[in-house]
Structure 1
Amino acid sequence: MTRARIPLAGMPALLLSLLLLAVAPSCARDVRAPDVPAPVTSVAPATPPGNAVASAHALATEAGLQIMREGGNAFDAAIATSAVLSVVEPISSGLGGGGFFLLHDAKTGRDIFIDARETAPASAHADRYRDVNGEFDRDRAENGPWSAGIPGLPAAFVHVAERYGALPLSQSLAPAIRIAEDGFPVYGRLARGYQSRRAVMERYPGTRAVFLADGRAPQEGDTFRQPDLARTLRLLAERGFDGFYRGETGGKLVAGVNAEGGQWTAEDLAAYKVIEREPIRFRYRGWTVTTAPPPSSGGIAMAQMLQILEPYDLPAMDDAARAHLVVESMRRAFRDRTFYLGDPDFVDIPQRTLLSRDYAGGLRATINPDRATPSELLSGKPTPLEDEETTHFSIVDAAGNRAAVTQTVNLLFGSGLVAPGTGVLLNNEMDDFALQPGVPNAFGVMGFDANAPAPGKRPLSSMTPTFLESDERVAVLGTPGGSRIITMVLLGILGYDAGLGAQAVAALPRYHHQWLPDSISAESDTFSADTAAKLRALGHAVDLPGDRAAGGRGSSHVWGNLQTIEWNRAEGSLSGGSDPRNPVGAAKVEAVAR
């Protein structure tokens, strides 16, 4: 395996000199070791007053609570919640995808990051994504067999159950098996999402057999049953890893992909491994933030943004001045994401430098409080030409165990391809690689060599499950949203720091900047007309919903689906926040007798 070394090269001279002066003390150390403090020991060791689950669907929330009533812990509940979301949210995630599990074991005080990201099959190579004219083939990257990586979520279920759960996997998967067999009511987002992707999904006989089983596309209020998926889940429950990655299911997955022109092998599936990684930790204004390491880009980017912002008194500023500084921090973090981050098993990431407070100070020094910095001035290389479906849930149990889990199949309904006889809708995560350097992916995010595809490599992700802990409060949070995941979690942390509760944090208005394209995107009503005008006067392009008059593309009306739980140790209370943008989500707390 070859690891690419990513140099800090090609920056404009002034920016480079400022940054190198700021980080000089840390550059002599091992750049792969995270430059972060140890977690802070709580002064309030009391346990939560109950169990809580916040997820994007009420059936998944109830499944997690049910498993804890049956004697399971937060980790068993995470399996149950994740599996039910895999059944009821095929638009967002599923057994054919992957995810990140951030766990906190209350007994040992240990935080564990479980990387169940999809991997590239042995056939993966950038040349596979070019058409006969040598141009990038967007359809092949996003749709069908070549867009799919080897799934990781089923392996995560097995790993979590065997190492951290209190119940057998069969018990934790029972709610998902039942719902797949009996069905659930189709909700509006599922029906609308299918219509937007039906031209792709109906290319494939395995997909048609699932979604057109009643002779027509799913309609809101229909009962949607998935008997093949129930059988796949049952085999996983009975046989563990081999029940999905080998044997009947594994054979059907390989056959289904290859029948559509792909190139998977039995060895691709059997070789899949979950990886435990050390989470990223850093301090922000009295909080310890524990979050996702590479191959997530979220933890490093968020650490950079928060450490840039820490000296500013953000709550005391007017809306435009505050948004200006937050956007400038986003701009700089996303620039670094583009050039330096990838799968740490294949790339030497300058993690110590990127996480250094000195480096953040150097970035802060390049911010003009009275003027936007054009993104082209931050470019480390010549700038090339330049719907957010995932799901997240948060869990806290009465023992103090915690789980923050973000999982995905990437775009709406992933690749659109269901392997016949499995019910498994495969992801299209290959598009998260830099399949053609300098060409944006479906989320408009560019990448270069650090995130180029290679057999067995994991694509860079924005998924950012996060714990936030102070002496008095603990929060678990995360969201879907493509590249906007990172900035939504950032805004959630700023909300908690400002004193908001869980539901208020879940409802916060959202805005985003990702270096390129060089514009602020925002939800409706995030900025008043006066604030938007002030930001434009500072030199920002502001891309509001439906607004093309100012040169924008027209942002989505709303985005994300943040799910969060707060345990207030000082008050002895537990509360959940479920994003009001999603009418089928639910956050529930159940008291536990002591």
Structure 2
Amino acid sequence: MRNFEKPTRSVAISTKAMAATSHPIATLTAINILQAGGNAMDAAIAACAVQCVVEPGSTGIGGDCFALYAPKGGADVLAYNGSGRTPKALTIEWFEERGLTEVPRQSPSAVTIPGAIDAWTRLHTDHGRLPFPDVLAPAIRLAEEGYAITPRVHRDWVREEGLLSADKAASDIFLPHGRAPRIGEIHRQPKLAATLRRIATEGRDGFYKGPVAADMVEHLRAHGGLHTLEDFASAQGQYVTPVTTAFRGYTIHECPPNGQGIIALLILNILSCFDNSLAPQSADRLHLEIEATRLAYAARDAWLADSDKSEVPVDELLSEAFAKRLADMIDLKQALTDLPDFEMPLHRDTVYISVVDDERNAVSFINSIFDSFGTGLVAPESGVILHNRGQSFSLKRDHPNMIAPEKRPLHTIIPGMVTQNGQTQMSFGVMGGYYQAMGHAHLISKVVDYGMDMQDAIDLPRLIPVGGKIPRVEAEHTVSPESVAELTRRGFEIIPAEDPIGGAQVIRINWDNGTLTGASESRKDGIALGY
């Protein structure tokens, strides 16, 4: 039960339908689409398109998309991988010849072919109900007529003024007065409106062929990119089989690699090796979650990659024996120091959307341009922000995630779904780059192990390991001083988080009462609404 004396919010509860996003206008758009006769898929795509306009630092049509879909609230969950591949001409030798050891952010080499529009159009064709122009109409109107800047959007925008100023097209659109728009100011994107209108009428070809594709390719090649019109025309996502694990009587569904959803399942499998007698925010419980994450992330960085191009040991990663072996390494008296090296988890920008409609179709939907404003490169005529997902590739020879032609990188964005007894129980997701796998496990564990109110679980203080052999942990300032002191005594190096860690939305279906309960991230601007 919520403590009504604390400055938080109640969960949203409704009977017909529910939507939860990180922006109020996106949530309202989803509700409007549902009330206009659309279903959950229509509403999720419409909300995402709106967020590509009103949260340009967090997401865009020049990014990638993953989705889980549970028709009629059943347990047969469909997964769609809408992540893009590298250009055919991009090879590891290209980077070696230039002496590069990592993929630069503000460069065309960080831009894989965007997969979001392919995902939207395919998912709408297969599972939507309303005409596609109706689904994109709210986003087109906002881009054309303007939208007011909200507090979190402004905060993230200001931090990227330097990045945006380095590309004239980006500066012209996103620094209209030589600076980021302020809270409450109106911002417009007429070029993006025209692009969305073309996609609404022409479908995927309006993005991957014709003038929009030519605009992106020309801008990328002008900066030294190897992209071609053929790379865009041949881009295609795919339906994939979800990976699952059992956790305390529930089945947790995630998209398979190249996404890191399997790592969320691995963390839950490690936590399953321990009982839930530890207080949820005690130093012991935080210690356990940190170490489970560090061990799982070490496995992620060693093995996760595009399963079409590299062998990913899915069965081993999900096996009880592997989870038990990692769990046995955890010592609640002191931090581990013998982990394999792994790269620092970075906080990235993404939007996550959860929608359940009156037929109980459930959609778990996530769209991302990775860093805030991606590469900071914007196609000048179409207004498309180009993402920097290619930075997730390794430039180490023979690494499973080594960059190669027509390959998808290790992906951070992961929608989640929970089923039990043949029915969908929860549609959920957590934003925040590499935090997402830990965030999924943290949220599910708090709701399932401790019976916590979903909003309370979302609002809990967060931390994330950010080092390899050095047990370094970023912690939000709301983590208690007592826990920080005790974790420090055990050998963890606790450093203040520069930004709020992650963001979450979740909708839970109560089949007995016929009700829906929704919660939305307090660290963002959004809300959950139902009717």
TM-score (norm 1): 0.82
Contact kept? 1:396, 1:403, Cα under 8 Å = yes
Deviations 1:417-441 (A, max 9, x none): 111110101001110111357xxxx
The structure having more radius of gyration, on CA atoms, is 1
Which residue does the alignment assign to 2:463? 511
> Does residue 536 of structure 1 match 2:497?
no
* Identical residues among aligned pairs (%): 32
Contact kept? 1:477, 1:562, Cα under 8 Å = yes
> Does residue 54 of structure 1 match 2:20?
yes
Alpha-carbon shift at residue 233 of structure 1 (Å): 0.6
In the TM superposition, 1:122-521 aligns within 5 A as 122-129=88-95, 134-136=99-101, 141-213=104-176, 217-297=180-260, 299-317=261-279, 319-374=282-337, 377-379=338-340, 387-436=347-396, 449-470=399-420, 474-497=425-448, 498-513=450-465, 516=468, 518-521=471-474
Deviations 1:351-398 (A, max 9, x none): 111101122122222222333221xx232xx88999421111111111
Deviations 1:532-556 (A, max 9, x none): 222223232222x1xxxxxxxxx22
Deviations 1:430-481 (A, max 9, x none): 10111357xxxxxxxxxx7111111211110122211123459822211221
Alpha-carbon shift at residue 557 of structure 1 (Å): 4.8
Q: Separation in 1 of the partners of 2:386 and 2:49?
A: 15
Unaligned ranges ≥5, structure 2: 1-13
SS of residue paired to 1:409:
strand
Q: Separation in 2 of the partners of 1:508 and 1:358?
A: 31
1:359 is matched by which residue type in structure 2?
F
> Does residue 522 of structure 1 match 2:482?
no
Contact kept? 1:191, 1:219, Cα under 8 Å = yes
SS of residue paired to 1:478:
strand
SS of residue paired to 2:31:
helix
Q: Separation in 1 of the partners of 2:231 and 2:441?
A: 36
Unaligned ranges ≥5, structure 1: 1-47, 438-447, 546-554
Contact kept? 1:505, 1:577, Cα under 8 Å = no
Deviations 1:296-331 (A, max 9, x none): 11x221222111111422244471111222222112
CA shift in 2, pair 1:304/1:216, >3 Å: closer
> Does residue 79 of structure 1 match 2:30?
no
Q: Separation in 1 of the partners of 2:74 and 2:509?
A: 19
Q: Separation in 1 of the partners of 2:431 and 2:199?
A: 26
Alpha-carbon shift at residue 125 of structure 1 (Å): 2.5
Q: Separation in 2 of the partners of 1:407 and 1:499?
A: 29
Q: Separation in 2 of the partners of 1:178 and 1:409?
A: 22
Contact kept? 1:468, 1:493, Cα under 8 Å = no
Q: Separation in 1 of the partners of 2:107 and 2:295?
A: 35
CA shift in 2, pair 1:383/1:85, >3 Å: closer
CA shift in 2, pair 1:578/1:91, >3 Å: same
Which residue does the alignment assign to 1:575? 517
Q: Separation in 1 of the partners of 2:130 and 2:516?
A: 24
Which residue does the alignment assign to 2:8? none
Which residue does the alignment assign to 2:10? none
Q: Separation in 2 of the partners of 1:473 and 1:459?
A: 30
1:196 is matched by which residue type in structure 2?
R
Deviations 1:61-93 (A, max 9, x none): 111111111211111111101111111111011
SS of residue paired to 2:355:
strand
Deviations 1:511-531 (A, max 9, x none): 2225625322221122x2222
Which residue does the alignment assign to 1:28? none
1:499 is matched by which residue type in structure 2?
G
Alpha-carbon shift at residue 216 of structure 1 (Å): 5.2
Contact kept? 1:567, 1:575, Cα under 8 Å = yes
> Does residue 70 of structure 1 match 2:31?
no
Contact kept? 2:356, 2:363, Cα under 8 Å = yes
SS of residue paired to 1:230:
helix
Q: Separation in 2 of the partners of 1:473 and 1:83?
A: 25
Q: Separation in 2 of the partners of 1:359 and 1:291?
A: 19
Q: Separation in 2 of the partners of 1:155 and 1:424?
A: 15
Deviations 1:31-75 (A, max 9, x none): xxxxxxxxxxxxxxxxx8211111011111111111111211111
Deviates more, 1:571-580 or 1:489-498: 571-580
Contact kept? 1:524, 1:557, Cα under 8 Å = no
SS of residue paired to 2:395:
coil
Contact kept? 1:157, 1:169, Cα under 8 Å = no
CA shift in 2, pair 1:163/1:356, >3 Å: same
2:400 is matched by which residue type in structure 1?
A
2:339 is matched by which residue type in structure 1?
L
Q: Separation in 2 of the partners of 1:383 and 1:509?
A: 24
SS of residue paired to 2:201:
helix
Deviates more, 1:119-128 or 1:352-361: 119-128
Contact kept? 2:108, 2:223, Cα under 8 Å = yes
TM-score (norm 2): 0.91
SS of residue paired to 1:490:
helix
Alpha-carbon shift at residue 145 of structure 1 (Å): 2.3
Contact kept? 1:56, 1:392, Cα under 8 Å = yes
Quote the RMSD (CA, aligned, Å): 2.3
Alpha-carbon shift at residue 232 of structure 1 (Å): 0.6
Alpha-carbon shift at residue 220 of structure 1 (Å): 2.3
1:102 is matched by which residue type in structure 2?
L
Alpha-carbon shift at residue 128 of structure 1 (Å): 3.8
CA shift in 2, pair 1:237/1:261, >3 Å: same
Contact kept? 2:356, 2:507, Cα under 8 Å = yes
Q: Separation in 1 of the partners of 2:132 and 2:245?
A: 34
Q: Separation in 2 of the partners of 1:334 and 1:538?
A: 21
CA shift in 2, pair 1:559/1:367, >3 Å: closer
